[in-house]
Structure 1
Amino acid sequence: MPSQSPSFFTRLALAFAVLGNGKLAAQLQDVRDGVLPAAPPPPPAPVAPPAPAPVLKVATPDAALQLLALLQREARFVDFLQEDVAGYPDADIGGAARLVHAGCRKVLDAHFTLAPARPEAEGSRIVLEAGFDAASVRLTGNVVGQAPFRGTLRHPGWKATDVRLPRTTEGHDPRILAAAEVEL
């Protein structure tokens, strides 16, 4: 049903509105010429909120210092690393390294249960599917694109499956890795 014709004053107000608004005049001209108005643009796609920043935990140095103290006690590890070995012959360094190695291994065996991070043998061809544990696998070489990744396992990695560090007494200063020795 056609709408009622607007009054003279309404048409006059519309004419002034068209004179003062170029966009409205263009739209009116399109209607007069039979051009359909453009569909309104779709609403913008919702923007996903940014991922929350990872929560960084403060690592207390006590366990690391305790391990370093164990390595010093059993293998003289700190002494070996602090020594300037440049002036020693290779045979002497090799002999010292065997002692340090044996002591370090003793500490690992006594306080940790270790297992490979990957079950496959070194040199195996493996496929890493999308969603693989990036904390337990480090990609090397020509890394491009998205998973699945196919490659050769160069090292299976290590993970600790059990940790058995000794308990410490209250008042213990973990910063003392080895007490100074004074011979009387």
Structure 2
Amino acid sequence: MRLGLALRAFWKALFDSAAAERMATALDGEGQPRLETAEAPPSESSKKTQPIRKLAPTQNPAITLLATLQRDARLVDLIQEDLDQYQDAQVGAAARPCLKQCRQSLDRILKIEKLVDAKENESITVPADASAARYRWIGESSGTEETTGKVVHPGWQAVSIELPQWSGDEDDAKVIAPAQVSAS
């Protein structure tokens, strides 16, 4: 249970700056009531002086990102559309503006850059202690010493993350896009 909580806290702190600040405050013990152990139940006076704070509802960062891409570029509409009924040229014509707007949105939210500053087929040196998240070998490599290889794909990384701040009801936390209804 504690491992699951730790992982949830990690991801929440990574993608939600307000939650990260609350966690830092709680961990530093600034202005937060201490939890009492089971052996020493809290006294009646401490119960009265420590109001229970209800945390604001939050939205999963993945939903926030997807909702932004839907709002800006209608990405979910394009993905969910039955494309078999259209010609390839029609699909391409619909996808082009969607993909351009998705790129603009991702540039604004994540500031995406190449992970490796090298072109395809260019040789680079990979350190022996390189992270598997940063380098994926295609073919065989010793992996125990510094190795030279050719770039097949430079990879991508988010330089900064600035997701829009979500505010809403807990019941709406999983809504990607609202239903649009025309007045009769």
| TM-score, normalised with respect to structure 1 | 0.64
> 1:115·1:161 contact (CA, 8 Å) conserved in 2?
yes
Is 2:90 the partner of 1:92?
yes
69, 73, 78: which one aligns with 1:75: 73
Q: Which residue does 1:111 correspond to in 2?
A: 109
User: Is the counterpart of residue 57 in structure 1 residue 29 in structure 2?
Assistant: no
Deviation of residue 147 (structure 1)?
Answer: 2.5
CA contact (8 A) 2:64 2:166 kept: no
**Match of 1:74, SS?**
helix
Q: For each residue in 1:80-106, what CA deviation from the matched residue of structure 2 results, as whole angstroms up to 9, or x when unmatched? A: 111110121111001011121122012
Question: Matched residues in 2 for 1:83 and 1:62: separation?
Answer: 24
Q: Secondary structure at the match of 2:167?
A: coil
Partner deviation per Cα, 1:25-47 (whole Å, 9 max, x = no partner): xxxxxxxxxxxxxxxxxxxxxxx
Alignment of 1:158-169 (within 5 A): 158-169=156-167
Aligned to 1:181: 180
State which drifts further: 157-166 or 139-148.
Answer: 139-148
Matched residues in 2 for 1:145 and 1:72: separation? 41
User: Match for residue 20 of structure 2?
Assistant: none
**Structure 1 consecutive aligned stretches of length 4 or more whose deviation exceeds 3 Å:** none
Higher relative contact order (CA 8 A, sep 6+): 2
Aligned equivalents of 2:110 and 2:77: distance in 1? Answer: 23
**Pairing 1:96-175 to 2, within 5 Å after superposition:** 96-144=94-142, 146-171=144-169, 173-175=172-174
Give RMSD over aligned pairs. 2.3
Indicate conservation of the 8 Å contact 1:74/1:106, yes or no: no
Stretch deviating more after TM superposition (145-154 or 63-72): 145-154
SS at match of 1:86: helix
Q: CA deviation digits over 1:68-89, x for unaligned, max 9?
A: 0011111111111111101211
Structure 1 residue matching 2:83: 3-state secondary structure: coil
Between structure 1 and structure 2, the one with the greater Rg is 1
How far does residue 134 in structure 1 lie from its aligned partner after superposition?
2.3
Aligned residues: 131
> What code does the residue aligned with 1:140 have?
I
Q: Counterpart amino acid of 1:71? A: L
Distance 2:167 2:6 in 1: 28
Equivalent residue letter for 1:124? E
C-alpha distance in structure 2 between counterparts of 1:120 and 1:181, whole Å: 45
Deviations, residues 134-182 of structure 1 (Å, cap 9, x unaligned): 2211111233463322210111111111111111225363311100011
- Structure with greater helix percent: 2
Instruction: Give TM-score scaled by structure 2 length.
Output: 0.64
